[in-house]
Structure 1
């Protein structure tokens, strides 16, 4: 179901030039499009004919969060406004009339009410520790983003949650999706800090999650998916159009994850590695731009998972280490030209200006 560019005719001269470029060992000229061994040099030209506009891509959920997750026996509460028309996917609070929160107490008060719920956060808010986010909820920052400090958001066992336009500055985990939570979309947010912890974690049976158009910086661990104790079968996660800006590792690190799809992300100056697959995870990495990173793609050395890499561009970054085969995801998506990712994601990821 993936949408791939189809090149109907390739001139012989261009094909020869590509073969020569791929065999070169020297660093690419900064003025020329970089070439990596697993890159598709035709991709940028073919997809220029009809890529989706940046605004549409950034504001529309794509990936595993759009796929119906198992209901686990959960009954319909009759609140149809928060449910997608096809019976699955993520809508958060839907078209519910929004309420506004300007402080931690006001926010937690709203989140204790029955959903569906749309909460617009205004100004800087210092959270009183971890804040639980219930099902059928949208939390959205005000124009220019809402700064959240002092704690994090926890989506524990909840279903159908949207987190958008939030700027986290924390010494601990900013967002935790766990306890079998499903259909969660984290996008257009900025994650800073971490102090050795993981900025965003998806684990403990969470499923059908999309992490998109976010910026991660100033942390050793950006995004962790799964853990050593997770049971196989869950953790279907899409990671796309995120900017991992100087974070050391975990972009993501996947453990016991059934399917993780990592596409069109911008990796810059990552001191440890980009993407790692461990504990029998299945990870597909495609159309990403790696720049000055210690390692692009790798299976875990001690307990490896399957990991496949294709159509990535590597600048001052070693070639990927791959293992096994990984199936394509079932949803429809479209790759942006990999050569455009630094500008597209570098300018567009994180809290909107």
Structure 2
């Protein structure tokens, strides 16, 4: 699993002929056009809640956090690292390995026609082999499972490519490419799922990229990290969050998004920082009829409307460092998706 070590955070001014978003409750229209977001008056290098947490910089976000689920304590995500490594040659092989009761790392080489939805069981790592892994004509479903890693996959789904639901938790989706949603979100995280991270993925050819939560979610779940993803021409929902306990959106590259970037509704708590929005209709919105809470900082906006802010959102409990926003387009466009071998 190839995880990007975050570059050290910087506080350099973003001298660019662009609008930038603001944090707090100031009117975004009053902000200067060539300055960084207003940041809290704290130590610039610290984005973690404690000195102890700063020493453990994690690329896993929420998926790497231990958490109590159903009265049991669960460690951060490891996937199938505790088990053997096997190879899936076709859809039948893949389904059999993914449904196994034992931990497994499953390698896929070449193209597999899924011919529908394939369920992913607990304690599994599904990873691309040396020849790459392309999954077509279907999607993956993580339903009621935990400790799952999906890495380096290309999924052309004609619908939802990945559904995380049924109270699934500790799920990491890294370095993958999702396309062709056919009107549906490419990735959904709902049904009380928790401790999920989407990192270094490339989303394209879809009306909606990521949907987190639904209108009837119970409170207390849907903690999701979304970082270093490339939302490449997807119209909106990057993500759309509903009834989410905490969604952390940072260092993503938004380009050519016709409707919106990040949408927080139904009381969700969404923190948006260090993202680069280019030619996006609305960078961040809190919704109208059922608004959510959203705080922004250190984002850079080019040909993009200023954010609609609302409420307060806490920092996440894990340690993390944010790449300089001005570097995000080059860093993410070359590093996100199945091209992950080009990551620095």
Normalising by structure 1, we get a TM-score of 0.82
Counterpart in the other structure of 2:62: 64
1:40 aligns with 2:29: no
**Pairwise CA RMSD:** 2.4
Return 5+ residue gaps in structure 2 as ranges: 1-6, 23-34, 46-57
Partner deviation per Cα, 1:12-39 (whole Å, 9 max, x = no partner) = xx9xxx8xx7xxxxx92xxxxx452436
Return 5+ residue gaps in structure 1 as ranges: 22-26, 29-33, 48-59, 76-86
**Alignment counterpart, residue 121 of structure 1, candidates 95, 108, 112:** 108
Whether contact under 8 Å (2:98, 2:120) holds in the other structure is yes
Counterpart in the other structure of 1:234: 221
Counterpart in the other structure of 1:295: 282
In the TM superposition, structure 1's runs of 4+ consecutive aligned residues that sit over 6 Å from their partners are none
Mapped to 1, the partners of 2:180 and 2:21 lie a distance apart of 34
Determine which structure has more spread, i.e. the larger CA radius of gyration. 1
Counterpart in the other structure of 2:294: 307
Whether contact under 8 Å (1:156, 1:179) holds in the other structure is yes
**Alignment counterpart, residue 263 of structure 2, candidates 272, 276, 284:** 276
Whether contact under 8 Å (2:8, 2:323) holds in the other structure is no
Mapped to 1, the partners of 2:262 and 2:21 lie a distance apart of 17
Aligned positions, number: 307
Q: Taking structure 1 as reference, are residues 273 and 113 closer, same or farther at Cα in structure 2, changes over 3 Å only?
A: same
1:341 aligns with 2:325: no
Whether contact under 8 Å (1:268, 1:292) holds in the other structure is yes
Mapped to 1, the partners of 2:182 and 2:250 lie a distance apart of 27
**Alignment counterpart, residue 184 of structure 1, candidates 162, 167, 171:** 171
Kindly state the Cα deviation for residue 111 of structure 1 after the two structures are TM-superposed: 2.0
With a CA cutoff of 8 Å and minimum separation of 6, indicate the structure with the bigger relative contact order. 2
Kindly state the Cα deviation for residue 42 of structure 1 after the two structures are TM-superposed: 11
Mapped to 2, the partners of 1:153 and 1:207 lie a distance apart of 17
**Alignment counterpart, residue 261 of structure 1, candidates 213, 228, 248:** 248
